[in-house]
């Protein structure tokens, strides 16, 4: 859907831009020339009648009016910030269903909004970043996860739900720091979840685990049964903060650098959708606003 909207936005901008340029540099001058000829023949012409004599077509007038707005939206959305909605709970407790976030598009390089070809390198993902990317098995879908493994890293995920990372060029696998295990008020079905503080690189954040649920390594990719991944060059290993309820790189593989969309930096609005089972309201209508969630994402 996001890719389709980008294509439509580019097409509308291109069409209205061409009409704007033709009006400014061709059509308007021709109308003025004809108007000057009429004035020369009639000696004078009431200014109120000038637009009626040579009117500007409605489709030209509308295109000229909306082109600057559409062009600005295209520039901001394609190269600066783009809004996204969180549709699932895979990034709890950091991001909740109903959060609307801003994604910094230029964080990982400037790309053509249609072909997604990078034309200017600006930066690379850092360990701990929350990144939006095109889902590798189906690039028409946008996913959001946390960057865990960088190119060349060796990533291990143990049965006690700890991450061990061996950075490229080193011989030591360092266990990612976890502390302050507390019971969360969030639940998975009927089992209470546990919330931990975790640190990836310089980024401190919270994660959720279900102490009663164990991963099945036979579902891991690309080597079923093996809980170790060597991140290829030009790729990244992503995981959700809701570790036991996240379809991530453990199950579908690495994210190519070309699939990166941007870095999630802020929540600009957050809606609640909690309602009783007997409610007659459609599921897409919010039941409240979580003002306390607005701000920077950690």
Question: Could you write out the three-class secondary structure of 16-50?
Answer: HHHHHHHHHHHHHHHHHHHHHHHHHHHCCCCHHHH
Say which CATH number the domain at 208 has: 2.10.109.10
pLDDT at residue 191, as a whole number? 66
Annotation says 145 is catalytic: yes
Q: How many whole angstroms separate alpha carbon 165 and alpha carbon 82?
A: 31
User: Does 246 lie in the same domain as 111?
Assistant: yes
* The total number of structural domains that make up the chain: 2
User: Does 39 lie in the same domain as 159?
Assistant: no
pLDDT at residue 221, as a whole number? 92
pLDDT at residue 214, as a whole number? 85
User: Does 43 lie in the same domain as 118?
Assistant: no
User: Does 144 lie in the same domain as 56?
Assistant: no
pLDDT at residue 277, as a whole number? 73
Side-by-side strand order, sheet with 191-200 = 177-188, 191-200, 203-209
User: Does 254 lie in the same domain as 174?
Assistant: yes
Of 105, 145, 161, 263, catalytic: 145
Structural domain of 57? 2-79
Tokens of residue 201, six digits: 């690189």
Q: pLDDT tens string for the chain (298 positions)?
A: 567 778 888 999 999 999 999 999 999 888 888 877 777 777 665 665 666 667 788 899 999 999 999 999 999 999 999 999 998 999 999 999 999 999 999 999 999 888 888 999 989 999 999 999 999 999 989 999 999 999 999 999 998 899 999 999 899 998 887 777 666 666 555 567 899 999 998 899 999 999 888 888 999 999 999 999 999 999 999 999 999 999 999 999 999 999 999 999 999 999 988 777 777 777 778 888 999 999 988 7
Question: Is the Cβ–Cβ distance between 186 and 193 less than 8 Å?
Answer: yes
User: Does 91 lie in the same domain as 178?
Assistant: yes
Annotation says 24 is catalytic: no
Residue finishing a domain among 13, 48, 79: 79
Residue finishing a domain among 62, 79, 96: 79
User: Does 226 lie in the same domain as 131?
Assistant: yes
pLDDT at residue 144, as a whole number? 97
Give, in degrees to the nearest 5, the angle at Cα 212 between 206 and 215.
80
3-state secondary structure of 81: strand
User: Does 218 lie in the same domain as 94?
Assistant: yes
User: Does 258 lie in the same domain as 115?
Assistant: yes
pLDDT at residue 242, as a whole number? 96
pLDDT at residue 41, as a whole number? 72
User: Does 190 lie in the same domain as 167?
Assistant: yes
Of 90, 246, 249, 270, catalytic: 90
Residue finishing a domain among 79, 95, 130: 79
Q: Where are the alpha helices (DSSP H) in the chain?
A: 2-22, 28-42, 47-53, 58-75, 249-252
User: Does 157 lie in the same domain as 14?
Assistant: no
pLDDT at residue 250, as a whole number? 97
Task: Note if the bond before 93 is cis, omega within 30 degrees.
Answer: yes
User: Does 186 lie in the same domain as 292?
Assistant: yes
pLDDT at residue 53, as a whole number? 63
């Amino acid at each position: 859907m996001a890719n389709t909207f980008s294509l439509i936005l580019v097409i509308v901008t291109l069409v209205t831009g061409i009409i704007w340029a033709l009006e400014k540099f061709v059509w308007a001058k021709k109308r003025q020339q004809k108007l000057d000829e009429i004035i020369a023949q009639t000696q004078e012409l009431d200014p109120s009648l000038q637009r009626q004599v040579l009117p500007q077509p409605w489709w030209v007038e509308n295109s000229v009016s909306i082109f600057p707005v559409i062009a600005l939206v295209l520039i901001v959305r394609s190269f600066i910030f783009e809004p996204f909605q969180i549709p699932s709970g895979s990034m709890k407790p950091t991001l909740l269903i109903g959060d609307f976030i801003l994604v910094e598009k230029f964080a990982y390089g400037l790309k053509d909004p249609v072909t997604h070809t990078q034309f200017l390198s600006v930066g690379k993902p850092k360990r701990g970043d929350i990144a939006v990317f095109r889902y590798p098995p189906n690039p028409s879908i946008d996913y959001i996860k946390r960057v865990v493994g960088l190119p060349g890293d060796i990533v291990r995920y143990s049965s006690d739900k700890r991450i061990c990372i061996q950075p490229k060029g080193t011989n030591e696998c360092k266990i990612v720091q976890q502390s302050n295990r507390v019971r969360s008020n969030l639940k998975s079905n009927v089992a209470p979840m546990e919330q931990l503080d975790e640190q990836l690189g310089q980024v401190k954040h919270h994660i959720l685990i279900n102490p009663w649920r164990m991963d099945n390594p036979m579902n891991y990719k690309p080597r079923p049964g093996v809980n170790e991944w060597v991140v290829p060059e030009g790729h990244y290993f992503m995981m959700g903060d809701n570790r036991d309820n996240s379809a991530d790189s453990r199950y579908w593989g690495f994210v190519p650098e070309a699939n990166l969309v941007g870095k999630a930096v802020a929540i600009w609005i957050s809606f609640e959708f909690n309602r009783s089972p007997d409610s007659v309201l459609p599921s897409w209508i919010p039941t409240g606003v979580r003002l306390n969630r607005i701000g920077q994402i950690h």
